[in-house]
């Protein structure tokens, strides 16, 4: 049975209905979901009451999972403002400051040489009365396509350094020496080629630090200009959470951010899983054609990686 897909945003973001993702889905259904995902960039499934094991099983159908930043054995991790005992964590704690970087526009794991491909969030602890704490996504593909040709040409071959410390500096968190060593700066093309659709999409976000060969002020000016363009209302979809919403996005196409909320008052926990990226998009300072690499790796099965897992 074909899945039901309804576009909610102007250029992207769709709701998929009629599926219980805890059930084992056929390879055909997974391929259909992946197809809709590549078309719409972000998919929302409502009422998916996953356990951790079920979320892992579903996420793995789309590729190999990234382990949690702080736990090599965890492939689904709670992201929120609760202590392990269920009490609300101090908003001034190190951990809260670290996570608050999620409130800046970003693409997941941009601080890895091979950044995240696909991310999944399940809203497990969401208070129906919480007035804010939404998540927003912006369509970098539509924004890129609307740039004047001269600007697209100007960023075509640029490579930028991305650094986890850059976004953390904004929230007042300094990486300690161990973290600094574990997550050194990395490099990404500013125009990436989407591996599965072949579309060109600009890649900027809160970790972007400096364009290779440029000074920092000139680099920042370009990053700000591109992000201001890409985060105009017409490119954004704003999602208000309901408990058990399951939202899945393609980090190669969109950036996202968490909206602020009263962290001392409302418990908010989303469970997160991530499919890891294929590989570095810059090797020895030169951009890689990611589309060609992906097709070479997966050929006809490029869109149904699901079957491989
Ligand atoms: C993430 C993220 C935003 C949110 O999980 O990668 O940025 O609203 N989350 O929780
Ligand atoms: Mn994120």
Sorted by where each begins, the domain ranges of the chain are: 4-308
* Sign (positive or negative) of CA dihedral 261, 263, 265, 268: positive
CA gap 15, 233 in Å, rounded: 20
pLDDT tens digit string along 101-126?
999 999 999 999 999 999 999 999 99
- The pLDDT of residue 301 is 58
pLDDT tens digit string along 129-167?
999 999 999 999 999 999 999 999 999 999 999 999 998
- The pLDDT of residue 186 is 97
Homologous superfamily assigned to 4-308: Clavaminate synthase-like (3.60.130.10)
Global pTM reads: 0.95
Closest residue by Cα to atom 4, ligand 1, is 258
Task: Flag whether pLDDT at 309 surpasses 50.
Answer: no
Structure tokens at 179: 């973290």
CA 300 to ligand 1 centroid distance, Å: 32
Task: Flag whether pLDDT at 292 surpasses 50.
Answer: yes
Mean pLDDT for the chain overall: 94
CA 80 to ligand 1 centroid distance, Å: 9
CA 257 to ligand 2 centroid distance, Å: 7
Task: Flag whether pLDDT at 282 surpasses 50.
Answer: yes
Closest residue by Cα to atom 6, ligand 1, is 108
Tell me which residues have their CB closer than 6 angstroms to ligand 1.
Answer: 79, 102, 108, 119, 121, 135, 256, 258, 270, 272
- The pLDDT of residue 22 is 98
Closest residue by Cα to atom 5, ligand 1, is 272
Q: How confident is the model at residue 307 (pLDDT cuts 50, 70, 90)?
A: very low
- The pLDDT of residue 303 is 52
pLDDT tens digit string along 53-84?
999 999 999 999 999 888 888 999 999 999 99
Q: Region 265-277: what's the mean pLDDT?
A: 97
Which atom belonging to ligand 1 lies closest to the Cα atom of 106? Answer: 7
CA gap 249, 120 in Å, rounded: 7
For residue 125, which ligand has an atom nearest its CA? 1
Of 76, 96, 99, 77, nearest in space to 88 by CA = 96
Closest residue by Cα to atom 3, ligand 1, is 258
Q: Cβ neighbours of residue 249 under 8 Å, at least 6 residues apart?
A: 41, 42, 43, 118, 119, 137, 256
CA 259 to ligand 2 centroid distance, Å: 12
pLDDT tens digit string along 212-239?
999 999 999 999 999 999 999 999 999 9
Mutate to test the pocket of ligand 1, among 102, 107, 251 (most ligand atoms within 8 A of CB): 102
Closest residue by Cα to atom 2, ligand 1, is 102
- The pLDDT of residue 308 is 36
């Amino acid at each position: 049975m074909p899945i039901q897909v309804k576009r909610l945003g102007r250029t992207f973001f769709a709701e998929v209905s009629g599926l219980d993702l805890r059930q084992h889905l056929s390879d055909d259904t997974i391929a259909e979901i992946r197809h809709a995902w590549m078309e719409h960039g972000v998919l929302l499934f409502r009422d998916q009451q996953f356990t951790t094991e079920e979320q892992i099983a579903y996420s793995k159908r789309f590729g190999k999972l990234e382990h949690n930043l702080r736990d090599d054995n965890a492939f689904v991790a709670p992201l929120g403002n609760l202590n392990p005992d269920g009490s609300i964590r101090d908003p001034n704690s190190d951990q809260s400051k670290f996570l608050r970087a999620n409130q800046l526009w970003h693409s997941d794991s941009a601080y890895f040489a091979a950044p995240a491909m696909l991310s999944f969030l399940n809203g497990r602890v969401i208070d129906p009365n919480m007035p804010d704490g939404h998540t927003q996504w912006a369509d970098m593909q539509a924004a890129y396509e609307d740039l004047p040709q001269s600007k697209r040409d100007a960023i075509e071959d640029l490579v930028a350094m991305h650094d986890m410390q850059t976004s953390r500096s904004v929230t007042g968190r300094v990486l300690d020496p161990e973290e600094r060593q574990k997550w050194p700066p990395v490099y990404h093309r500013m125009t990436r080629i989407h591996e599965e659709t072949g579309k060109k999409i600009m890649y900027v976000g809160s970790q972007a630090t400096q364009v290779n060969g440029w000074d920092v002020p000139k680099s920042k000016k370009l990053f700000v200009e591109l992000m201001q363009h890409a985060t105009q209302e017409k490119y954004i979809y704003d999602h208000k959470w309901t408990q058990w919403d399951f939202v899945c996005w393609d980090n190669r196409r969109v950036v996202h951010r968490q909206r602020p909320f009263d962290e001392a008052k409302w418990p908010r926990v989303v469970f997160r899983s991530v499919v890891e990226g294929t590989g570095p998009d810059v090797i020895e300072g030169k951009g890689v054609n990611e589309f060609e690499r992906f097709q070479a790796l997966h050929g006809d099965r490029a869109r149904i990686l699901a079957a491989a897992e």
